[in-house]
Amino acid sequence: MNFSLVSKLLGLVMLVLAAAFALCLGVAIGMEDPDQYPVSRRAFIGAGGTALFAAAMLFWVGREKNRKFFHKEALCTIGLSWLLASLVGSIPYLILTPEAGLSGAIFESTSGLTTTGASVLSDLERLPPSLLFWRSLSQWIGGMGVVVFFVAILGFIGVGAKMLYANEASGSMSEFEESRIQTTVARLVYVYLGLSTACCLSYWLAGMSLFDAINHTFTTVSTAGFSTRSESIGAFENPAIEWVAIVFMSLAGLNFLLILRLCMGRLNFLKRNTEFAAYFILLLLAATLISSTLTWDETFEDLSEAVRAGTFQAVSIMTTTGFSTEDFTEWTALPQITLLLLMVIGGCTGSTSGGIKVTRLLIAARLSVLSIERSFRTRVVRQIRINGNIISDRAVADVTNYLILIGGVISISIVIVALFETTHKIDTNLSVVYACFFNVGPGIAEVGPMENFGFLHPHTKLFLSLLMIMGRLELYAILALLSPSLWKRFS
């Protein structure tokens, strides 16, 4: 294990957080009244100072010049960066929302950086603007990943940058044609910035204030879901704002590499992209099913309202954004089950969304069909293709193992949550695990879109914080930290 280089990279993550806290301090100076400002100033100066001190210590520990960087260093850096960032990111919540407690502050910080959007806070309108800004900014940073941002500007770790991006963004490295990974990742950051700018202007033109537009841009493009209002997007009661959110949530759920190629005029990739077609077909089917059910059940008297509500929630849940315009826990069973399935599926590979990803679903579905055919045609040989490419046996095995691992982690997590939450029904415990592991935010039952996670036991909040990070990093970067062989030096 190259501890010096890992330490250096963790120091860079702390510098990113320090810069973010400085921005939040600027918001406090410019927007808060004399009663709020002193506490906010103390919160963000304290958080920024802690981040800078941590960065200095980590750079000092990593002062040894050693460029050896292997896959284990990538996993270690990713896992530790999210754990450390979540802890440091909780400082403003500890100072500004002391009622949340230590576990609540860590939960809120982790939920932001992992783009989950689950919250322990209520009555958001009373929070100081600087804290609302930090909630949103943390999700925007987490959307592309703290690591992706600094990989885009680093050259000294060479091929290690490729490993970092692969483990953080869950992108397929075979899709990178450029010899320099930093160039590609930098272009992805430009796409992210461009999408954010377009989203902010659209929200502002649709009727949001500039502050609300910036905050909701951060949490829309990152498919994260924190809002400045307790009733989320529904608080604005503006159909134009809802349609803007639908469009940009849908775009953010796409593979950013595909968006990059489309921006470069490579339209041929769109024609043969299986995941792109499956993603929008699933969204269309889910939106149609939910909207139709809401119309048949007379939940909405007006067809256009039913279509807008059904489409919004289908897109919001499948992209794991978690915005809400309606309390879907009051809908009938069919729409709720549909939304629950969308939570599991998630968005496209290489997007900011959570879930198992559409590509994995496609591979699993085709593998299942093939296994059925082989039950009566034992000698049949077929190859699984995704995006026009043949999927290797190794890739198929990786998907299968990952899905099995997810099933095991979720099963164990449900049991652990049930040990602490003895007074809640099984639907709440199931929903809590699903909403956090798949980085969705709102669930059903007692953690619906109009509720929060504040009632949970402190131990549950801490465990769910870890579960959110595991879901965001797709298990391996966290599980690998528990392996003793990971920590052996250069082996």
149 band by pLDDT with thresholds 50, 70 and 90: low
**15 lies in a domain?**
yes
Distance (Å, whole) CA 195 – CA 444: 30
**237 lies in a domain?**
yes
**240 lies in a domain?**
yes
Burial of 281 (0-12, 13-18, 19+ CB in 10 A): exposed
386 secondary structure, DSSP code: E
pLDDT > 90 fraction of the chain, expressed in percent and rounded: 60
Q: Is 378 helix (H, G, I), strand (E, B) or coil?
A: coil
The gap between the terminal CA atoms of the chain, to the nearest Å, is 7
Comparing 71-80, 188-197, 250-259, 399-408, the range with the smallest average pLDDT is: 71-80
Q: Is 385 helix (H, G, I), strand (E, B) or coil?
A: strand
Distance (Å, whole) CA 234 – CA 213: 14
Query: What is the dihedral sign for C-alpha 318, 324, 330, 331?
Result: negative
Q: 254: alpha, beta or left, given left = phi > 0 and alpha = psi -120 to 50? A: beta
Over residues 84-113, the mean pLDDT reads 96
Distance (Å, whole) CA 182 – CA 402: 28
Over residues 169-195, the mean pLDDT reads 69
**319 lies in a domain?**
no
Query: Residue 363: is its pLDDT beyond 70?
Result: yes
Query: Residue 178: is its pLDDT beyond 50?
Result: no
Q: What is the mean pLDDT of the chain?
A: 88
**C-alpha pair distances (Å), 153 with each of 150, 184, 186:** 5, 11, 7
Whole-model pTM?
0.91
pLDDT 10s digits, 410-450: 999 999 999 999 888 888 999 999 999 999 999 888 998 98
Q: What distance separates the 2 farthest-apart alpha carbons in the chain?
A: 77
Q: Is 68 helix (H, G, I), strand (E, B) or coil?
A: coil
Neighbouring-strand partners of residue 389: 386
| Cβ-based neighbours of 302, under 8 Å, separated by 6 or more | none
Comparing 21-30, 69-78, 286-295, the range with the smallest average pLDDT is: 69-78
Query: Residue 159: is its pLDDT beyond 70?
Result: no
**C-alpha pair distances (Å), 50 with each of 17, 27, 42, 82:** 10, 19, 12, 16
Total residue count of the chain as it appears in this document: 491
Helices 71-89/160-169 angle, 10° precision = 50
Q: Is 424 helix (H, G, I), strand (E, B) or coil?
A: coil
More confident residue, 57 or 179: 57
Alpha helices in 207-355 (DSSP H): 210-221, 239-252, 256-263, 268-271, 274-296, 303-318, 333-345
Alpha helices in 387-425 (DSSP H): 393-420
173 band by pLDDT with thresholds 50, 70 and 90: very low
Amino acid at 40: S
Distance (Å, whole) CA 308 – CA 264: 32
More confident residue, 161 or 463: 463
C-beta atoms surrounding 272 within 10 Å: 13
Structure tokens that stand for 203 in this block: 């929200």
pLDDT at 181: 66
Q: Let me know the angle formed at the C-alpha of 319 by 313 and 322, rounded to the nearest 5 degrees.
A: 55
Contact predicate 473/167, CB 8 Å:
yes
**196 lies in a domain?**
yes
pLDDT at 482: 81
Distance (Å, whole) CA 77 – CA 8: 10
Over residues 214-231, the mean pLDDT reads 95
C-beta atoms surrounding 87 within 10 Å: 16
Alpha helices in 297-377 (DSSP H): 303-318, 333-345, 358-376
pLDDT at 156: 47
**204 lies in a domain?**
yes
Neighbouring-strand partners of residue 384: none
Comparing 101-105, 191-195, 267-271, 366-370, the range with the smallest average pLDDT is: 267-271
457 band by pLDDT with thresholds 50, 70 and 90: very high
Query: Residue 491: is its pLDDT beyond 50?
Result: no
**209 lies in a domain?**
yes
pLDDT > 70 fraction of the chain, expressed in percent and rounded: 90
Secondary structure element (H or E) that encloses residue 462, with its range: helix 458-472
Query: Residue 147: is its pLDDT beyond 70?
Result: no
Q: Which domain holds residue 77?
A: 3-256
64 secondary structure, DSSP code: S
pLDDT at 154: 54
How many domains are there within the chain? 1
**149 lies in a domain?**
yes
Distance (Å, whole) CA 424 – CA 441: 18
pLDDT 10s digits, 114-141: 999 999 998 999 999 999 999 999 999 9
Distance (Å, whole) CA 449 – CA 460: 19
